[in-house]
Amino acid sequence: MKVPILSEEYQIMIAPQGGGRMKSYRKELWFNTRTRRAFINITGQVEECLKESGVKEGLVLVIAMHITASVFINDDESGLHHDLDVWLEKLAPHEPVSQYRHNNGEDNADAHLKRSIMGREAVVAITDGKLDFGPWERIFYGEFDGRRRKRVLVKVIGE
Amino acid sequence: MKVPILSEEYQIMIAPQGGGRMKSYRKELWFNTRTRRAFINITGQVEECLKESGVKEGLVLVIAMHITASVFINDDESGLHHDLDVWLEKLAPHEPVSQYRHNNGEDNADAHLKRSIMGREAVVAITDGKLDFGPWERIFYGEFDGRRRKRVLVKVIGE
Amino acid sequence: MKVPILSEEYQIMIAPQGGGRMKSYRKELWFNTRTRRAFINITGQVEECLKESGVKEGLVLVIAMHITASVFINDDESGLHHDLDVWLEKLAPHEPVSQYRHNNGEDNADAHLKRSIMGREAVVAITDGKLDFGPWERIFYGEFDGRRRKRVLVKVIGE
Protein backbone atom coordinates (compact mmCIF):
# COMPACT_ATOMS: atom_id res chain seq x y z
CA MET A 1 0.00 0.00 0.00
CA LYS A 2 2.62 2.52 -1.09
CA VAL A 3 1.31 6.07 -1.12
CA PRO A 4 2.86 9.33 -2.16
CA ILE A 5 3.37 11.85 0.58
CA LEU A 6 3.32 15.37 -0.77
CA SER A 7 6.35 16.52 1.15
CA GLU A 8 6.53 19.79 -0.77
CA GLU A 9 3.29 20.79 0.94
CA TYR A 10 4.67 20.81 4.47
CA GLN A 11 4.13 24.01 6.36
CA ILE A 12 6.16 25.16 9.32
CA MET A 13 5.04 27.70 11.83
CA ILE A 14 6.83 28.12 15.10
CA ALA A 15 5.07 30.06 17.78
CA PRO A 16 6.86 32.88 19.58
CA GLN A 17 9.03 31.18 22.14
CA GLY A 18 10.85 31.85 25.34
CA GLY A 19 8.47 34.09 27.22
CA GLY A 20 5.57 31.80 27.92
CA ARG A 21 4.20 31.23 31.38
CA MET A 22 1.59 28.54 31.85
CA LYS A 23 -2.05 29.48 32.31
CA SER A 24 -4.95 27.21 33.03
CA TYR A 25 -8.71 27.60 32.84
CA ARG A 26 -11.64 25.38 33.75
CA LYS A 27 -15.34 25.38 33.00
CA GLU A 28 -18.15 22.86 33.27
CA LEU A 29 -20.87 22.66 30.64
CA TRP A 30 -24.09 21.06 31.89
CA PHE A 31 -26.64 19.20 29.79
CA ASN A 32 -30.02 17.61 30.32
CA THR A 33 -31.27 15.98 27.14
CA ARG A 34 -34.95 15.21 26.58
CA THR A 35 -34.07 11.97 24.78
CA ARG A 36 -32.01 8.98 25.92
CA ARG A 37 -29.51 9.59 23.14
CA ALA A 38 -28.43 12.89 21.55
CA PHE A 39 -25.55 14.56 19.75
CA ILE A 40 -24.98 18.21 20.63
CA ASN A 41 -22.58 20.53 18.80
CA ILE A 42 -20.63 22.32 21.57
CA THR A 43 -17.98 23.94 19.37
CA GLY A 44 -19.25 27.46 20.03
CA GLN A 45 -19.19 26.95 23.79
CA VAL A 46 -15.63 25.61 23.69
CA GLU A 47 -14.60 28.61 21.58
CA GLU A 48 -16.06 30.92 24.23
CA CYS A 49 -14.07 29.11 26.90
CA LEU A 50 -10.92 29.56 24.87
CA LYS A 51 -11.58 33.29 24.50
CA GLU A 52 -12.22 33.66 28.23
CA SER A 53 -9.01 31.78 29.04
CA GLY A 54 -6.79 34.18 27.14
CA VAL A 55 -4.59 31.25 26.05
CA LYS A 56 -2.90 31.72 22.65
CA GLU A 57 -0.80 28.54 22.39
CA GLY A 58 -1.61 25.25 24.09
CA LEU A 59 -4.41 22.76 24.18
CA VAL A 60 -8.03 22.30 25.21
CA LEU A 61 -9.24 19.11 26.84
CA VAL A 62 -12.97 18.55 26.32
CA ILE A 63 -14.02 15.64 28.50
CA ALA A 64 -17.28 13.81 29.22
CA MET A 65 -17.29 13.63 33.03
CA HIS A 66 -19.86 10.82 32.93
CA ILE A 67 -19.00 7.32 31.77
CA THR A 68 -22.17 6.88 29.71
CA ALA A 69 -21.43 9.86 27.45
CA SER A 70 -18.75 10.89 24.97
CA VAL A 71 -16.99 13.90 23.56
CA PHE A 72 -15.92 13.41 19.96
CA ILE A 73 -15.11 15.37 16.84
CA ASN A 74 -16.97 14.78 13.60
CA ASP A 75 -19.22 16.40 11.02
CA ASP A 76 -22.31 18.50 11.90
CA GLU A 77 -24.58 16.76 9.41
CA SER A 78 -27.94 15.30 10.46
CA GLY A 79 -27.79 12.34 8.04
CA LEU A 80 -24.46 11.29 9.53
CA HIS A 81 -25.81 11.67 13.07
CA HIS A 82 -28.64 9.33 12.14
CA ASP A 83 -26.12 6.85 10.68
CA LEU A 84 -23.96 7.04 13.81
CA ASP A 85 -26.95 6.44 16.07
CA VAL A 86 -28.18 3.42 14.06
CA TRP A 87 -24.66 2.01 13.85
CA LEU A 88 -23.95 2.34 17.58
CA GLU A 89 -27.29 0.73 18.38
CA LYS A 90 -26.35 -2.18 16.09
CA LEU A 91 -22.90 -2.65 17.68
CA ALA A 92 -24.13 -2.20 21.27
CA PRO A 93 -27.93 -2.60 21.40
CA HIS A 94 -29.94 -1.22 24.29
CA GLU A 95 -32.50 -4.05 24.17
CA PRO A 96 -32.81 -6.59 25.58
CA VAL A 97 -31.35 -5.07 28.73
CA SER A 98 -31.29 -8.54 30.27
CA GLN A 99 -28.27 -9.41 28.10
CA TYR A 100 -26.06 -7.26 30.31
CA ARG A 101 -24.92 -8.06 33.85
CA HIS A 102 -24.37 -4.38 34.63
CA ASN A 103 -28.12 -3.86 34.40
CA ASN A 104 -28.84 -4.71 37.98
CA GLY A 105 -31.23 -1.96 38.93
CA GLU A 106 -29.75 -0.01 36.00
CA ASP A 107 -30.44 -0.26 32.28
CA ASN A 108 -27.54 1.64 30.78
CA ALA A 109 -24.83 -0.97 30.08
CA ASP A 110 -25.19 -0.25 26.36
CA ALA A 111 -24.39 3.41 27.05
CA HIS A 112 -21.06 2.41 28.62
CA LEU A 113 -20.24 0.36 25.51
CA LYS A 114 -21.30 3.06 23.04
CA ARG A 115 -19.16 5.56 24.89
CA SER A 116 -16.20 3.14 24.62
CA ILE A 117 -16.44 3.30 20.83
CA MET A 118 -16.95 7.06 20.57
CA GLY A 119 -14.36 8.00 23.18
CA ARG A 120 -14.30 10.09 26.35
CA GLU A 121 -12.37 13.17 25.34
CA ALA A 122 -11.14 15.37 22.53
CA VAL A 123 -7.75 17.05 22.74
CA VAL A 124 -7.70 20.15 20.56
CA ALA A 125 -4.61 22.20 19.69
CA ILE A 126 -4.72 25.97 20.21
CA THR A 127 -2.79 28.08 17.70
CA ASP A 128 -2.82 31.87 17.71
CA GLY A 129 -5.77 31.92 20.14
CA LYS A 130 -7.98 29.68 17.99
CA LEU A 131 -9.03 26.01 17.87
CA ASP A 132 -6.61 24.60 15.28
CA PHE A 133 -9.19 22.72 13.21
CA GLY A 134 -9.56 21.26 9.75
CA PRO A 135 -12.48 22.53 7.65
CA TRP A 136 -15.22 20.23 9.03
CA GLU A 137 -14.08 19.48 12.56
CA ARG A 138 -16.80 20.18 15.12
CA ILE A 139 -16.89 19.12 18.78
CA PHE A 140 -19.86 17.03 19.93
CA TYR A 141 -21.27 15.95 23.23
CA GLY A 142 -22.59 12.42 22.68
CA GLU A 143 -25.27 11.45 25.16
CA PHE A 144 -26.16 7.75 25.47
CA ASP A 145 -28.12 7.76 28.73
CA GLY A 146 -29.71 11.16 29.07
CA ARG A 147 -32.79 12.68 30.64
CA ARG A 148 -30.75 13.74 33.66
CA ARG A 149 -28.19 16.44 34.39
CA LYS A 150 -24.70 15.59 33.19
CA ARG A 151 -21.61 17.62 32.43
CA VAL A 152 -18.58 18.17 30.27
CA LEU A 153 -15.26 19.55 31.52
CA VAL A 154 -13.44 22.12 29.42
CA LYS A 155 -9.84 22.55 30.57
CA VAL A 156 -7.54 24.96 28.76
CA ILE A 157 -3.78 24.74 29.33
CA GLY A 158 -1.17 26.91 27.68
CA GLU A 159 0.25 30.38 27.53
CA MET B 1 -32.96 16.24 18.31
CA LYS B 2 -33.26 19.62 20.00
CA VAL B 3 -32.10 19.56 23.60
CA PRO B 4 -32.07 22.15 26.32
CA ILE B 5 -28.68 23.21 27.58
CA LEU B 6 -28.88 24.40 31.16
CA SER B 7 -26.74 27.44 30.65
CA GLU B 8 -27.51 28.81 34.09
CA GLU B 9 -25.48 25.94 35.52
CA TYR B 10 -22.15 26.95 34.01
CA GLN B 11 -19.33 27.31 36.47
CA ILE B 12 -16.20 29.33 35.95
CA MET B 13 -12.99 28.85 37.82
CA ILE B 14 -9.77 30.37 36.60
CA ALA B 15 -6.59 29.08 38.13
CA PRO B 16 -4.02 31.52 39.51
CA GLN B 17 -2.14 32.76 36.49
CA GLY B 18 1.07 34.39 35.53
CA GLY B 19 3.60 32.68 37.75
CA GLY B 20 3.58 29.15 36.44
CA ARG B 21 6.70 27.36 35.33
CA MET B 22 6.35 23.99 33.66
CA LYS B 23 7.12 20.82 35.55
CA SER B 24 7.12 17.29 34.24
CA TYR B 25 7.14 13.88 35.89
CA ARG B 26 7.32 10.32 34.58
CA LYS B 27 6.67 6.90 36.03
CA GLU B 28 6.17 3.43 34.62
CA LEU B 29 3.64 1.03 36.14
CA TRP B 30 4.35 -2.62 35.38
CA PHE B 31 1.80 -5.42 35.19
CA ASN B 32 1.86 -9.16 34.72
CA THR B 33 -1.67 -10.56 34.64
CA ARG B 34 -2.41 -14.24 35.34
CA THR B 35 -5.12 -14.26 32.69
CA ARG B 36 -5.01 -13.38 28.99
CA ARG B 37 -7.50 -10.56 29.54
CA ALA B 38 -7.98 -8.37 32.62
CA PHE B 39 -9.20 -4.94 33.70
CA ILE B 40 -7.21 -3.33 36.53
CA ASN B 41 -8.23 -0.17 38.35
CA ILE B 42 -5.08 1.99 38.47
CA THR B 43 -6.67 5.20 39.72
CA GLY B 44 -4.93 5.04 43.10
CA GLN B 45 -1.51 4.61 41.50
CA VAL B 46 -2.08 7.55 39.15
CA GLU B 47 -3.16 9.66 42.14
CA GLU B 48 0.11 8.75 43.88
CA CYS B 49 2.05 9.82 40.80
CA LEU B 50 0.22 13.13 40.78
CA LYS B 51 1.04 13.71 44.45
CA GLU B 52 4.71 12.90 43.86
CA SER B 53 4.84 15.25 40.87
CA GLY B 54 3.76 18.29 42.87
CA VAL B 55 1.78 19.55 39.87
CA LYS B 56 -1.32 21.61 40.75
CA GLU B 57 -2.62 22.60 37.29
CA GLY B 58 -2.02 20.65 34.11
CA LEU B 59 -2.68 17.20 32.75
CA VAL B 60 -1.80 13.55 33.23
CA LEU B 61 -1.25 11.24 30.28
CA VAL B 62 -1.86 7.60 31.15
CA ILE B 63 -0.69 5.48 28.25
CA ALA B 64 -0.55 1.76 27.46
CA MET B 65 3.00 1.33 26.15
CA HIS B 66 2.06 -1.99 24.51
CA ILE B 67 -0.15 -2.17 21.45
CA THR B 68 -2.22 -5.10 22.71
CA ALA B 69 -3.42 -3.25 25.82
CA SER B 70 -5.50 -0.16 26.61
CA VAL B 71 -5.89 2.58 29.15
CA PHE B 72 -9.47 3.78 29.45
CA ILE B 73 -11.84 5.44 31.89
CA ASN B 74 -15.06 3.78 32.95
CA ASP B 75 -16.98 2.39 35.92
CA ASP B 76 -15.43 0.07 38.54
CA GLU B 77 -18.31 -2.41 38.49
CA SER B 78 -17.72 -6.13 37.97
CA GLY B 79 -20.95 -6.69 36.00
CA LEU B 80 -19.92 -4.02 33.52
CA HIS B 81 -16.42 -5.49 33.22
CA HIS B 82 -18.01 -8.82 32.35
CA ASP B 83 -20.21 -7.10 29.75
CA LEU B 84 -17.21 -5.28 28.25
CA ASP B 85 -15.23 -8.50 28.02
CA VAL B 86 -18.07 -10.42 26.33
CA TRP B 87 -18.77 -7.53 23.98
CA LEU B 88 -15.13 -7.10 22.90
CA GLU B 89 -14.83 -10.83 22.32
CA LYS B 90 -17.93 -10.65 20.11
CA LEU B 91 -16.62 -7.69 18.07
CA ALA B 92 -13.07 -9.03 17.78
CA PRO B 93 -13.01 -12.74 18.63
CA HIS B 94 -9.81 -14.49 19.65
CA GLU B 95 -10.78 -17.79 17.99
CA PRO B 96 -10.24 -19.02 15.40
CA VAL B 97 -6.79 -17.44 15.32
CA SER B 98 -6.43 -18.65 11.71
CA GLN B 99 -8.80 -15.86 10.61
CA TYR B 100 -6.05 -13.29 11.15
CA ARG B 101 -2.96 -12.79 9.00
CA HIS B 102 -1.08 -11.19 11.88
CA ASN B 103 -1.08 -14.55 13.64
CA ASN B 104 2.04 -15.82 12.02
CA GLY B 105 3.85 -17.28 14.97
CA GLU B 106 1.67 -15.00 17.13
CA ASP B 107 -1.91 -15.40 18.26
CA ASN B 108 -2.78 -11.91 19.48
CA ALA B 109 -4.30 -10.12 16.46
CA ASP B 110 -7.60 -9.89 18.34
CA ALA B 111 -5.81 -8.04 21.15
CA HIS B 112 -4.66 -5.36 18.67
CA LEU B 113 -8.28 -4.96 17.51
CA LYS B 114 -9.75 -4.87 21.03
CA ARG B 115 -7.25 -2.22 22.00
CA SER B 116 -8.30 -0.18 18.95
CA ILE B 117 -11.84 -0.01 20.32
CA MET B 118 -10.89 0.73 23.92
CA GLY B 119 -8.14 3.22 23.12
CA ARG B 120 -4.49 3.65 24.02
CA GLU B 121 -4.49 6.56 26.44
CA ALA B 122 -6.48 8.67 28.85
CA VAL B 123 -5.80 12.38 29.19
CA VAL B 124 -6.89 13.60 32.60
CA ALA B 125 -7.11 17.24 33.70
CA ILE B 126 -5.43 18.28 36.94
CA THR B 127 -7.16 21.01 38.95
CA ASP B 128 -5.96 22.17 42.35
CA GLY B 129 -3.60 19.18 42.63
CA LYS B 130 -6.32 16.58 42.00
CA LEU B 131 -7.57 14.45 39.10
CA ASP B 132 -10.51 16.50 37.83
CA PHE B 133 -13.03 13.68 37.62
CA GLY B 134 -16.75 13.19 37.48
CA PRO B 135 -18.31 11.02 40.21
CA TRP B 136 -17.72 7.59 38.63
CA GLU B 137 -14.61 8.10 36.52
CA ARG B 138 -11.92 5.51 37.25
CA ILE B 139 -8.78 4.75 35.22
CA PHE B 140 -8.30 1.18 34.00
CA TYR B 141 -5.50 -0.78 32.49
CA GLY B 142 -7.13 -3.10 29.94
CA GLU B 143 -5.04 -6.17 29.20
CA PHE B 144 -5.91 -8.19 26.09
CA ASP B 145 -2.79 -10.34 25.76
CA GLY B 146 -1.37 -10.80 29.22
CA ARG B 147 0.63 -13.37 31.12
CA ARG B 148 3.81 -11.39 30.49
CA ARG B 149 5.33 -8.20 31.85
CA LYS B 150 3.87 -5.06 30.29
CA ARG B 151 3.76 -1.44 31.31
CA VAL B 152 1.85 1.82 31.46
CA LEU B 153 3.42 5.27 31.23
CA VAL B 154 2.22 8.00 33.57
CA LYS B 155 3.40 11.43 32.43
CA VAL B 156 2.41 14.53 34.38
CA ILE B 157 2.84 17.96 32.77
CA GLY B 158 1.91 21.26 34.36
CA GLU B 159 2.84 23.71 37.02
CA MET C 1 -9.79 -11.12 38.25
CA LYS C 2 -7.07 -10.46 40.83
CA VAL C 3 -3.72 -9.77 39.26
CA PRO C 4 -0.31 -9.17 40.71
CA ILE C 5 1.16 -5.75 40.12
CA LEU C 6 4.94 -5.88 40.14
CA SER C 7 5.37 -2.87 42.33
CA GLU C 8 9.09 -3.48 42.75
CA GLU C 9 9.48 -2.64 39.08
CA TYR C 10 8.32 0.95 39.30
CA GLN C 11 10.71 3.47 37.91
CA ILE C 12 10.79 7.11 38.83
CA MET C 13 12.35 9.82 36.76
CA ILE C 14 11.63 13.43 37.47
CA ALA C 15 12.59 15.92 34.82
CA PRO C 16 14.63 18.97 35.75
CA GLN C 17 12.16 21.40 37.21
CA GLY C 18 11.73 25.03 37.92
CA GLY C 19 13.24 26.68 34.88
CA GLY C 20 10.86 25.67 32.12
CA ARG C 21 9.21 28.14 29.80
CA MET C 22 6.56 26.88 27.46
CA LYS C 23 7.35 26.44 23.77
CA SER C 24 4.99 25.43 21.01
CA TYR C 25 5.47 24.21 17.47
CA ARG C 26 3.13 23.38 14.61
CA LYS C 27 3.44 21.55 11.33
CA GLU C 28 0.99 20.10 8.82
CA LEU C 29 1.71 16.82 7.05
CA TRP C 30 -0.17 16.41 3.77
CA PHE C 31 -1.21 13.14 2.17
CA ASN C 32 -2.84 12.04 -1.06
CA THR C 33 -3.32 8.28 -1.13
CA ARG C 34 -3.83 6.37 -4.38
CA THR C 35 -6.30 4.03 -2.70
CA ARG C 36 -9.53 4.74 -0.83
CA ARG C 37 -8.06 3.24 2.35
CA ALA C 38 -4.45 3.21 3.53
CA PHE C 39 -2.32 3.04 6.66
CA ILE C 40 0.84 5.17 6.59
CA ASN C 41 3.59 5.03 9.21
CA ILE C 42 4.35 8.68 10.06
CA THR C 43 6.57 8.07 13.10
CA GLY C 44 9.69 9.37 11.37
CA GLN C 45 7.98 12.59 10.33
CA VAL C 46 6.70 13.21 13.85
CA GLU C 47 10.22 12.59 15.21
CA GLU C 48 11.54 15.22 12.78
CA CYS C 49 8.91 17.68 14.03
CA LEU C 50 9.97 17.00 17.60
CA LYS C 51 13.62 17.62 16.74
CA GLU C 52 12.76 20.89 14.97
CA SER C 53 10.66 22.03 17.94
CA GLY C 54 13.53 21.78 20.41
CA VAL C 55 11.10 20.59 23.10
CA LYS C 56 12.63 18.23 25.69
CA GLU C 57 9.69 17.65 28.05
CA GLY C 58 6.05 17.89 27.07
CA LEU C 59 3.68 16.31 24.61
CA VAL C 60 2.97 15.93 20.91
CA LEU C 61 -0.56 15.99 19.57
CA VAL C 62 -0.87 14.17 16.24
CA ILE C 63 -4.32 14.87 14.84
CA ALA C 64 -6.24 13.90 11.71
CA MET C 65 -7.67 17.25 10.56
CA HIS C 66 -10.26 15.46 8.40
CA ILE C 67 -13.19 13.60 9.89
CA THR C 68 -12.89 10.61 7.56
CA ALA C 69 -9.35 9.76 8.67
CA SER C 70 -7.60 8.71 11.88
CA VAL C 71 -4.31 8.96 13.68
CA PHE C 72 -3.59 5.93 15.83
CA ILE C 73 -0.74 3.99 17.37
CA ASN C 74 -0.21 0.33 16.63
CA ASP C 75 2.21 -2.19 15.12
CA ASP C 76 3.95 -1.71 11.74
CA GLU C 77 3.14 -5.20 10.50
CA SER C 78 1.45 -5.77 7.13
CA GLY C 79 -0.54 -8.82 8.28
CA LEU C 80 -2.07 -6.77 11.08
CA HIS C 81 -2.87 -3.91 8.71
CA HIS C 82 -4.72 -6.38 6.52
CA ASP C 83 -6.62 -7.67 9.57
CA LEU C 84 -7.49 -4.13 10.65
CA ASP C 85 -8.77 -3.25 7.19
CA VAL C 86 -10.95 -6.39 6.91
CA TRP C 87 -12.25 -5.91 10.45
CA LEU C 88 -13.18 -2.24 9.97
CA GLU C 89 -14.93 -3.09 6.70
CA LYS C 90 -16.92 -5.75 8.57
CA LEU C 91 -17.93 -3.38 11.40
CA ALA C 92 -18.68 -0.43 9.10
CA PRO C 93 -19.04 -1.64 5.50
CA HIS C 94 -18.66 0.73 2.58
CA GLU C 95 -21.27 -1.07 0.44
CA PRO C 96 -24.14 -0.71 -0.05
CA VAL C 97 -23.73 3.06 0.25
CA SER C 98 -27.54 3.34 0.15
CA GLN C 99 -27.67 2.09 3.76
CA TYR C 100 -26.40 5.46 4.98
CA ARG C 101 -28.33 8.73 5.07
CA HIS C 102 -25.10 10.75 5.01
CA ASN C 103 -24.48 9.52 1.48
CA ASN C 104 -26.47 12.21 -0.21
CA GLY C 105 -24.16 13.17 -3.01
CA GLU C 106 -21.36 11.66 -0.91
CA ASP C 107 -20.37 8.04 -0.41
CA ASN C 108 -18.12 8.21 2.63
CA ALA C 109 -20.38 7.62 5.64
CA ASP C 110 -18.48 4.40 6.37
CA ALA C 111 -15.25 6.42 6.58
CA HIS C 112 -16.77 8.58 9.36
CA LEU C 113 -17.69 5.40 11.26
CA LYS C 114 -14.32 3.70 10.75
CA ARG C 115 -12.59 6.83 12.00
CA SER C 116 -14.84 6.76 15.09
CA ILE C 117 -13.43 3.35 16.01
CA MET C 118 -9.79 4.13 15.26
CA GLY C 119 -9.79 7.60 16.83
CA ARG C 120 -8.86 11.10 15.75
CA GLU C 121 -5.65 11.81 17.60
CA ALA C 122 -2.67 10.35 19.41
CA VAL C 123 -1.19 12.14 22.40
CA VAL C 124 2.46 11.18 22.84
CA ALA C 125 4.65 12.02 25.83
CA ILE C 126 8.04 13.65 25.22
CA THR C 127 10.82 12.69 27.63
CA ASP C 128 14.39 13.89 27.24
CA GLY C 129 13.69 15.14 23.71
CA LYS C 130 12.29 11.82 22.46
CA LEU C 131 8.90 10.23 21.85
CA ASP C 132 8.38 8.22 25.05
CA PHE C 133 7.33 4.95 23.40
CA GLY C 134 7.09 1.28 24.23
CA PRO C 135 9.01 -1.12 21.97
CA TRP C 136 6.42 -1.49 19.19
CA GLU C 137 4.52 1.79 19.26
CA ARG C 138 4.39 3.45 15.85
CA ILE C 139 2.19 6.35 14.75
CA PHE C 140 -0.11 5.79 11.76
CA TYR C 141 -2.21 7.95 9.54
CA GLY C 142 -5.33 5.93 8.77
CA GLU C 143 -7.04 6.99 5.57
CA PHE C 144 -10.62 5.82 4.98
CA ASP C 145 -11.66 8.13 2.14
CA GLY C 146 -8.53 8.99 0.21
CA ARG C 147 -7.57 9.90 -3.33
CA ARG C 148 -7.57 13.59 -2.42
CA ARG C 149 -5.29 15.90 -0.49
CA LYS C 150 -5.76 15.66 3.29
CA ARG C 151 -3.65 16.61 6.26
CA VAL C 152 -2.46 15.81 9.76
CA LEU C 153 -1.62 18.41 12.40
CA VAL C 154 1.48 17.93 14.53
CA LYS C 155 1.47 20.23 17.55
CA VAL C 156 4.31 20.10 20.06
CA ILE C 157 3.86 21.73 23.47
CA GLY C 158 6.41 21.76 26.26
CA GLU C 159 9.72 23.17 27.33
Q: Which residue of B27, B55, B67 is the best one to mutate when testing the C interface, meaning the one whose CB has the most C CBs within 10 A?
A: B67
pLDDT below 70 — which residues of chain B?
Answer: 1-20
Contact list in A for residue B19 (CB cut-off 8 A) is 21
Q: How many Å lie between the alpha carbon of C85 and the closest alpha carbon of chain B?
A: 10
CB contact under 8 A, B59 and A101: no
CB contact under 8 A, B122 and A120: yes
Q: How many Å lie between the alpha carbon of C28 and the closest alpha carbon of chain A?
A: 6
CB contact under 8 A, C11 and B24: no
Q: In this predicted model, what pLDDT tens digit does every residue of B89-135 receive, in sequence order?
A: 999 999 999 999 998 788 999 999 999 999 999 999 999 999 999 99
Q: Which residue of A8, A60, A73, A136 is the best one to mutate when testing the C interface, meaning the one whose CB has the most C CBs within 10 A?
A: A73
CB contact under 8 A, A155 and B10: no
pLDDT at C13 (0 to 100): 45
- CA angle in degrees (0–180, nearest 5) for B115-A77-B7: 90
**Alpha carbon of B97 to those of A2, B37, B94, B109, C72: distances in Å?**
28, 16, 6, 8, 24
Would you say residue C54 has pLDDT above 90? yes
Average pLDDT value for chain C: 90
DSSP string, C74-141: E---HHHHHHHHHHHHHHS--S-GGG-SS-SS---HHHHHHHHHH-SEEEEEEETTEE---TT-EEEE
pLDDT at B113 (0 to 100): 98
pLDDT at C76 (0 to 100): 97
Q: How many Å lie between the alpha carbon of A115 and the closest alpha carbon of chain B?
A: 9
Q: Where are the domains of chain B?
A: 21-158
Give the CATH class of B21-158. Answer: mainly beta
Q: How many CB pairs under 8 A join A and C?
A: 149
CA–CA gap between residue B93 and residue A50 (Å, rounded)? 43
Contact list in B for residue A104 (CB cut-off 8 A) is 79
Average pLDDT value for chain B: 90
Q: Identify which of B63, B116, B117 has the shortest CB distance to residue C125.
A: B63
Contact list in A for residue B123 (CB cut-off 8 A) is 61, 63, 121, 123
Could you report the predicted ipTM of this complex, rounded to two decimals? 0.90
Average pLDDT by stretches of 10, chain A with 159 residues: 40 47 93 98 98 97 98 97 98 97 92 98 98 97 98 97
Residue B125 — left, alpha, or beta (φ > 0 → left; ψ -120 to 50 → alpha)?
Answer: beta
CB contact under 8 A, A30 and B132: no
Q: Which of A94, A63, A30 is nearest to B3 (CA)?
A: A30
Compute the average pLDDT of residues C71-98.
97
Would you say residue C17 has pLDDT above 90? no
Q: C3 pLDDT band (50/70/90 cuts)?
A: very low
